[in-house]
Amino acid sequence: MIGEGLSLMLHLLYIISITVLILGGLCWLINPFFIKWVTKFNPQSRLILLRSFGSTPLVGALVIGVMISIPALNHSSTLPIDHCHVSSNCIGSPAAHMVTISELAVIGTALCLFCWASLIAFMQWRRSYKLLERLDVTSGSMLTSNVQLIETELPLAFSLGIFRPNAVLSTGLVNNLSSQQLHIVCTHEEVHAQYRDGLYKWILRFMCTFHYPNVKRAVLKEHALSLELRADQQVALSTECNVAVAEAIIKLQRLMSPIKNEGPLCQFLGSELEQRVHYLLAQVPGSSLPRHTLLLSTICFLILSICGSLPLHNTIEALITR
């Protein structure tokens, strides 16, 4: 019984692992075209598309693993892919069939990626938690109900935190801003906290571990820019003055020295300045993904997953046991 369970688990891991690598390769091929296409949409739609694309290798592999495994319930061995339909491919009895060395290598590679992503995610969470603890100790006043003020001459503006986001400004920055600019910066950071942008950055960074490095960098870079564009857009709607928001961004560029941004910290100057200013002044909102398109895509995905399970299973099994 233990042998059957181990065989089943290893087969599932192999299917998921090889699918992660294949989907990662496909994403690498279409990445340049995808990033260029995404820029035609407004920030909210960009974020939906980028998060979906970033999750494709891992989520897609899990879905395909389930699709292939469901028809295997009728196998006497219950293995997702029953190599033992052809005796030459079988090692031992069907229930005791184990994966090959090459398959174990694929599983090991995928597990190493997963462990590495988990470790980085944990370190980022711990860093965020410690910074929040220090912030609670050093921060003695609030600019608004959602924005904390810290005593330092360094000009800083950022939202911090994964599960408990905080918007933070420094006295060194506040003293150099007009009342309108201060309102713009506070609102900008409140938007980051309201949408839990730090949490989504944290999750996406974990998901993108299963992409090729250049794809990961491109997706995370475009995602960070889209977060800033959305916050800028929300502030512009609040103040009803795009020019004032653009001027505030430029002024903060002169005041702030960009700090190293890793993990769930959304800094005011976390992305390309020129693109943000151009987006505000051009006043071209970009296309929006229709709600019915998202709904239909989800329904089609579910139907395809259910109806395609048996054909996909049979096709892959035929290729392996040929």
Please determine, for residue 206, whether its predicted confidence score (pLDDT) is greater than 80: yes
Q: What's the pLDDT tens digit per position in 227-274?
A: 999 999 999 988 888 888 888 888 888 887 655 555 555 555 555 777
**Contacts of 139 by beta carbon, 8 Å cutoff, 6+ apart:** 148, 149, 150, 168
Domain ranges of the chain: 2-320
- The model carries a pTM of 0.83
Cβ burial of 73 (10 Å; 0-12, 13-18, 19+) is exposed
Q: How far apart are CA 187 and CA 245, in angstroms?
A: 11
User: What pLDDT band is residue 3 in, cutting at 50, 70 and 90?
Assistant: low
Q: Within its chain, how far is the Cα of 317 from the centroid?
A: 32
Q: What's the pLDDT tens digit per position in 95-104?
A: 445 566 777 8
Q: At what angle do helices 242-255 and 179-194 cross, to 10 degrees?
A: 90
Q: How far apart are CA 71 and CA 69, in angstroms?
A: 6
Residue 82 corresponds to which tokens in the numbers above?
Answer: 């029953």
Please determine, for residue 41, whether its predicted confidence score (pLDDT) is greater than 70: yes
User: What pLDDT band is residue 82 in, cutting at 50, 70 and 90?
Assistant: low
Cα–Cα separations (whole angstroms), residue 143 to 160, 187, 245, 277: 16, 11, 19, 26
Instruction: Give the pLDDT mean for 93-119.
Output: 76
Beta strand segments in the chain, E: 141-144, 147-150, 157-160, 166-170, 265-267
Q: How far apart are CA 20 and CA 300, in angstroms?
A: 22
When comparing pLDDT for 93 and 6, which is higher? 6
